Amino acid sequence: MKDHSETIWDVAVIGGGAAGMMAAGRAAELGAKVILIEKNEGLGKKLLITGGGRCNVTNNEPDVRKFLSKFKDSDKFLFSTFSQFAVTDTLEFFNSRGMETKVEALGRVFPASNTAESVWKVLLENLKIHNVTVLSNSPVLGFEKYGNKITSILLRGNKKIFAKNFILATGGKSRPETGSTGDGFKWLTDIGHKVIEPAPSLVPIYIKEEWVKRLQGVSLQDVKITVLQSDQKQQIKRGKILFTHFGLSGPAILNLSHDIGELIKYGEVLLSLDILPDLDHGQLNAKLQEIFKEKSNKKFKNTLDTLMPSALVPVIVELSGISADLPSHSITREQRLSLISLLKNINVSVEDLLGTDKAIITSGGIELNEVDFKTMSSKLFLNLFLIGDILNIDRPTGGYGLQLCWTTGFVAGTSASKVNQS
């Protein structure tokens, strides 16, 4: 491996994921001499598996304020960053480099090729075109500092990387097998930054009820989920859910998981599932009466398949307490109303969240008030820039996480290429 310790780089980027690759390419495009340091053998390991290998590049919402409304309390920090590089800029970045995109349900943008490798290739080619030096298989041990500046990066074997500016893009603690092991949080703590302890954020949920696990692989496209604690409604979300061998997953569950994780610290949490949210009680009553009339001689267990996936029917029949073999013309009004209540309010008990190893992202990270979001620089160290999942920013599924990486990476690359170059 070539010894780079004698070189003083304009910009050293730590972490070769989505944010780091964007930052390194941008800084080099503007003329900086850039080195990108990655502990894995290759770049973009997590990027290649994101979105089930399809890579949800961004979300097709061009209005910055509407886009940032999905980021809860972080939007006020991010506006100055996204005003420099947002969704339309991301689409232009990839499209202009030969990668076509397509928009799917809920505004999710994917490469037209349906493979994350297309995204990865664009970023990799951008690094090559602008002569970014990539140092792989190189775990970083920490920083050296002097006053309010970082002076070098410590590597194994007593080696150091010197640079004028440093960009930290080591990610959170989700999917540690890809290299996201939270190393950057320790380095930041060591030099005086405040870090909120990472916890699973977009993560599936263990459910206590055994019948849920029997439905492994069944998905419902539109469910209204109400999160309950002590009989009080805490959150409501509507969207797709997936039954698994351990409980529940799917976008709607993932987007509620952070709040559920906070609630279970204080007691039992229930989820109320309305599996037919487009029908109110009256409409559903009329629908069931119509079905039972049309199928008057059929057994109850053979009447519900027009309302739900066939795999779900036996479970609903069991939960209803109505005999599976009862002819539908014999179902009483009380039984029908009880069935309506069930379909609009199936309660399941949360046991726990899966761990960070199964999370799409982790919450926690660097305190946002310690970052200048106009440049993505640390307020404690003038030549240190902090980007991507290392920031304490919660967001939903649907392309928002990667857009955060593209935006913060681009802005940090721009800023780091310009300051302290003399």
- Asked whether residue 3 is assigned to any structural domain, the reply reads no
- Retrieve residue 219's tokens: 């998905």
Within a domain: residue 96?
yes
Residues 97 and 150 in one domain: yes
pLDDT at 179: 47
- The arithmetic mean of pLDDT across residues 23-40, rounded, is 97
Residue 312 structural domain:
204-354
Q: Taking a C-beta distance cutoff of 8 angstroms, is the pair 416, 23 a contact?
A: yes
3-state DSSP call for residue 11? strand
Looking at the structure, tell me whether residues 319 and 182 fall in a common domain: no
Q: Which two tokens stand for residue 177?
A: 């097998």
- Beta bridge partners, 52, equal none
* Type and span of the H or E element at 296: none
For residue 11, which phi and psi values (nearest 5 degrees)?
-140, 130
Given a contact cutoff of 8 angstroms between Cβ atoms, the answer to whether 227 and 220 are in contact is no
Domain count, the chain: 2
CB 39 within 8 A of CB 193: no
Find the mean pLDDT for residues 308-326.
Answer: 97
pLDDT band at 354 (very low <50, low <70, confident <90, very high): confident
Task: Give the domain-ending residue among 354, 371, 396.
Answer: 354
Same domain for 229 and 127:
no
**Both 214 and 310 in a single domain?**
yes
Are 386 and 253 in a shared domain? Answer: no
Q: Of 203-212, 229-238, 349-358, which range is least confident?
A: 349-358
On whether both 282 and 411 belong to a single domain, the answer is no
Looking at residue 170, which CATH number applies to its domain? 3.50.50.60
**CB of 26 closer than 8 Å to CB of 89:** no
CA end-to-end distance (rounded Å), the chain = 29
Q: Give the CA distances from residue 268 to residues 114, 228, 235, 248, in Å, rounded to whole numbers and listed in that order.
A: 40, 9, 14, 17
CA dist., res. 91 & res. 58, Å (int): 8
**66 — phi, psi (to 5°)?**
-65, -40
Other Cβ atoms closer than 10 A to 294: 11
Dist CA 240 CA 220 (whole Å) = 6
Asked whether residue 195 is assigned to any structural domain, the reply reads yes
pLDDT digits (tens, 9 = 90+) for 276-291: 999 999 999 999 999 9
Residue 15 lies in a domain: yes
Taking only the tens place, the pLDDT of each residue in 70-123 is 987 888 999 999 999 999 999 999 999 999 999 998 899 999 999 999 999 999
Query: How does the average pLDDT of the chain come out, rounded?
Result: 91
104 and 44 inside one domain = yes
Last-in-domain residue among 300, 334, 354 = 354
* Least confident piece of the model among 46-50, 261-265, 356-360, 404-408: 356-360
When pLDDT is cut at 50, 70 and 90, the band that residue 344 belongs to is: very high
- The answer to whether the CB of 184 falls within 8 A of the CB of 390 is yes
**Tokens encoding 7:** 């070189």
Do both 282 and 149 map to the same domain?
A: no
Burial (CB count within 10 angstroms: exposed 0-12, middle 13-18, buried 19+), residue 96: exposed
pLDDT at residue number 422: 41
pLDDT band at 172 (very low <50, low <70, confident <90, very high): low
Check whether residue 69 and residue 197 sit in a common domain.
yes
- Do 37 and 104 lie in one domain? The reply is yes
The pLDDT of 268-272, averaged and rounded, is: 96
Indicate the residue among 354, 386, 411 that finishes a domain: 354
Of the candidates 242, 311, 233, the one whose C-alpha atom is nearest the C-alpha of residue 269 is 233
More confident residue, 92 or 184: 92
Please give the Cα distance from 20 to 17 (Å, whole number). 5
The per-residue pLDDT for 265 is: 87
The SS3 assignment for 92 reads helix
Instruction: Clarify whether residues 378 and 344 are in a common domain.
Output: no
Same domain, 258 and 314: yes
Strand partners, 152: 144, 162
Please report where in the chains the tokens 């692989």 appear, as a residue. Answer: 217
In percent, the amount of the chain with pLDDT more than 70 equals 92
